[in-house]
Amino acid sequence: MPERIPLARPNITQAEIDAVVAVLQTPNLSLGPKLTEFERAFADYCGTNEAVACSSGTAGLHILTRAYGLSPGNEVVTTPFSFVASANCALIEGAIPVFVDVDPHTWNIDATRIEAAVTTKTKAIIPVDVFGNVADMSPIETLARTHNLRVIEDSCEALGARYRGRPAGTLGDAGVFGFYPNKQMTTGEGGMIITDDGEIARLCRSLRNQGRDGGGGWLAHPRLGYNYRLSDINCALGIAQLARIDELIAQRCRVLSAYQTRLSGERRIALQRLTPEVEISPFVFVVRLADAYTQNDRDRILCELDDRGIGCSNYFTPIHLQPFYRERFGYKPGDFPVCEGLAQRTVALPFHHELTEHDIDRVCHELQALL
Ligand SMILES: *Cc1c(COP(=O)(O)O)cnc(C)c1O
């Protein structure tokens, strides 16, 4: 039996291990110098004024919904084809996520349909850069200006991607990244908010730290906040990963391009379309089976691949069809047909920095045999 090929794996070198151990030899395990250093390095990498580290990408999204005052009575336009956190962050604050179906080719929110979803209650748009492919941000920026909406860019899957030359995460009022171990870089758990708005950054730093303000002391809490801090241990890991980010992304681009070459001409699947505006920073490698395949066919293929030692997954289950969204809002199959048709037919194949041509050939061979 050949060795199992995992779906994802982090890329950790001795530099990361040394950096973490060095922090453990100091007394500063949280709110120490590594936090400031990580935030500064991250802001420099993205070219923003501010970066605010937090305990996860989800925490970053939640902090921003608070910082922008999203609350009951507000609506937030977003995509149903995403990880559940991009809509949950609105719901947690009592704002209503309003879904707009996706483009059948780019798999991102269909910007041409957003305006029809905007009402007098709409306060923000949360576009998601799905699988590292940046959402069509120009029309979204125009709409946001016209209707006075905030844009929170969920770039958790797109660190290092660009849109018309501008970095993912910098295209709205604020952007969020996640550092779970399957992302382009990892801190174990962790996230980062980026923005040019110093006032929003100050508020985010307060919200992540129990509502404390700069000078008031440890037991002064002028506002309701959370403990969404990121420890200096995680930050040291993040600094070491960020120092290697160009290499990490280059490896992922190599793997993506090897898959694209290997599968070009395979008519039974489609790949995500990349428009000329976008430079992708690949997060996962997902193929969409042709319309002739059903969800059952797809699920059988996932089981069979797994049996043959190929790590795989569906990506994503539509957010509106998650049980608590159905119960609360009455969503049902058919509400967002493009998203659902896609989600029923996705197969995520192994994708990480260390995959060889030989691994990729084996994965594609097994997939094609099952097709
Ligand atoms: C990974 C991810 C997040 C954040 O995830 P955490 O596990 O909370 O760091 C948010 N949105 C999307 C689209 C993601 O892929």
Which domains can be identified in the chain, with CATH numbers?
14-243 (3.40.640.10), 245-370 (3.90.1150.10)
Q: How far is the CA of 126 from the centre of ligand 1 (A)?
A: 13
175 ligand 1 Cβ < 6 A: no
Instruction: Tell me the C-alpha distance between 280 and 160, whole Å.
Output: 8
Point out the ligand 1 atom lying closest to the alpha carbon of residue 182.
Answer: 1
Given the CA of residue 86, which atom of ligand 1 is nearest to it?
A: 11
Q: Do 223 and 253 meet the contact criterion of CB atoms below 8 Å apart?
A: no
Q: Ligand 1, closest atom to CA 190?
A: 9
In terms of Cα–Cα distance, which of 83, 195, 135, 342 is closest to 125? 135
| Cα 350 to Cα 365: distance, rounded to the nearest angstrom | 13
Tokens 């492919």: give the residue.
Answer: 133
Question: Is-contact 45 270, C-beta < 8 A?
Answer: no
- In DSSP terms, which residues pair with 286 in a beta bridge? 348
Our answer to whether residue 121 is catalytic in this structure is no
pTM value > 0.75? yes
For the Cβ of 130 lying below 6 angstroms from any atom of ligand 1, the answer is no
Pocket test for ligand 1, best of 157, 283, 315 (most atoms within 8 A of CB): 157
How much distance in Å is there from the Cα of 87 to the middle of ligand 1?
11
Got the DSSP string for 155-182? -TT-TT-EETTEETTSSSSEEEEE--TT
- The 3-state DSSP class for residue 131 equals helix
Alpha carbon of 64 to ligand 1 centroid (Å): 14
CA distance 252 to 118: 37
pLDDT in single tens digits along all 371 residues of the chain: 689 999 999 999 999 999 999 999 999 999 999 999 999 999 999 999 999 999 999 999 999 999 999 999 999 999 999 999 999 999 999 999 999 999 999 999 999 999 999 999 999 999 999 999 999 999 999 999 999 999 999 999 999 999 999 999 999 999 999 999 999 999 999 999 999 999 999 999 999 999 999 777 888 899 999 999 999 999 999 999 999 999 999 999 999 999 999 999 999 999 999 999 999 999 999 999 999 999 999 999 999 999 999 999 999 999 999 999 999 999 999 999 999 999 999 999 999 999 999 999 999 999 999 99
